Amino acid sequence: MNRLIDVHAHMLPPELPDMKALTGRSGWISLDGNKDGRVTMRQDEHMFRTVEPECCCDDRRREFNAAHGVDVQVVSTVPVLFSDFAPAEEALVLHRYLNDHFVEVQDRHPDHFVAFGTVPLQDPELAVQELHRIAKIGLIGVQIGTQAGGRELDDPQFDVFWEACVQLDLPILVHPWDMLGSDRMSRHWLQWLVGMPSETALAVASMILGGVFEKHPDLRVCFAHGGGAFPFILGRIDHGFRMRPDLVATKTQSLPSSLLGRFWVDSGVHDDDALRFLVDRIGSDRVCAGSDAPFPLGEAVPGESVVRSQQLTHGEQQRILWDNALAFLGNRAQGRLKHHFSHA
């Protein structure tokens, strides 16, 4: 029977601090509980989305996961809570609250949940301070957006953040938010269907072409949603690198495809042919099972697309479902999950 580590899942606390009252600023998310256990997320007076009870109740999530064969789930916050619209000092109040909640979740379910913290990356120095606290309180990694404060991830201001992640041995999940072209994608849910894959592709390409992986070779990064559109457009990026090095090869002398072994992606591509292509393109040792639970665009049953794939070998399934996550998550996660990892 396959064991499963789900590296990409989201969780909210049952309530959030009233950031609007604390700061006098609009734009923060608040939570309203419903009688059926569902929770409505609101941005000021506007409804953002309604989430199922499993999003805010770790006991309910644990029960669901146990019934569906999820051995370990890595939980992280909902990206709208990155809150980089606000000054970093204000956002830090919310980030610290979320991180403290994740410590409680880990402590209540020490053999099942591990958590990625969150930081106000719009101020890299302040983010590093919270990164050190994340490591001290026992979280096993950090989730960030695909950009912060209007800066792409290859901006030199983020070097101090990457250096701290390496120093503290913290893996990074990069999740799309503040999607490019949003003003043109108000219809048909296009921000989520097209905007997110495009946004993630921009982040991967920026980090590769900006030389981030060469400057920080020990960085451990996983991009959500199979790396978005990046795997499919990699050939175009390589071609541009060869044909117009004056425009493309300004920060790196390495062919972009030669850097594929420097990062991971999750398996969330929702199509067996696409999953086969992803494994062939990125590498069977660089794809981790990621469900994006518990949202509608995630897998209803974590890992199901990998387990039911007609195009993956048993060895590839094993690596995607378990082995690759061990390499990505590293020592902190293995230390918290000794029971599971001792049988790996």
Q: Which of 83, 77, 168 is nearest to 128 (CA)?
A: 168
Q: What percent of the chain has pLDDT over 70?
A: 98
Q: Which of 314, 321, 313, 322 is nearest to 343 (CA)?
A: 322
Take residue 67 and report the two structure tokens written for it.
């019934």
- The mean of the pLDDT values for the chain is 96
The whole-number pLDDT of residue 134 equals: 98
Q: Which residue has the tokens 């946004």?
A: 199
Homologous superfamily (CATH) for 58-341: Metal-dependent hydrolases (3.20.20.140)
> Does the CA dihedral 81-82-85-89 come out positive or negative?
positive
Q: Which residue has the tokens 């097209």?
A: 194
CB 290 within 8 A of CB 224: yes
Structural domain spans, the chain = 58-341
pLDDT digits (tens, 9 = 90+) for 17-75: 999 999 999 999 999 987 788 999 999 989 999 999 999 999 999 999 999 999 999 99
Query: What residues are paired with 50 via a beta bridge?
Result: 40
pLDDT digits (tens, 9 = 90+) for 142-194: 999 999 999 999 999 999 999 999 999 999 999 999 999 999 999 999 999 99
The whole-number pLDDT of residue 36 equals: 82
Please check the confidence at residue 215 and state whether its pLDDT lies above 70.
yes
Please check the confidence at residue 344 and state whether its pLDDT lies above 60.
no
Please check the confidence at residue 267 and state whether its pLDDT lies above 60.
yes
Tell me the DSSP string of 286-326: SEE----BTSTTS-SSTTHHHHT-SSS-HHHHHIIIIIHHH
Take residue 14 and report the two structure tokens written for it.
């049952």
Q: Mean pLDDT over residues 208-233, rounded?
A: 99
Provide the 3-class DSSP secondary structure of residue 51: strand
The whole-number pLDDT of residue 37 equals: 84
Please check the confidence at residue 16 and state whether its pLDDT lies above 70.
yes
Residue 45 carries which DSSP code?
T
Pairing of strands 287-288, 147-148: unpaired
Please check the confidence at residue 339 and state whether its pLDDT lies above 90.
no
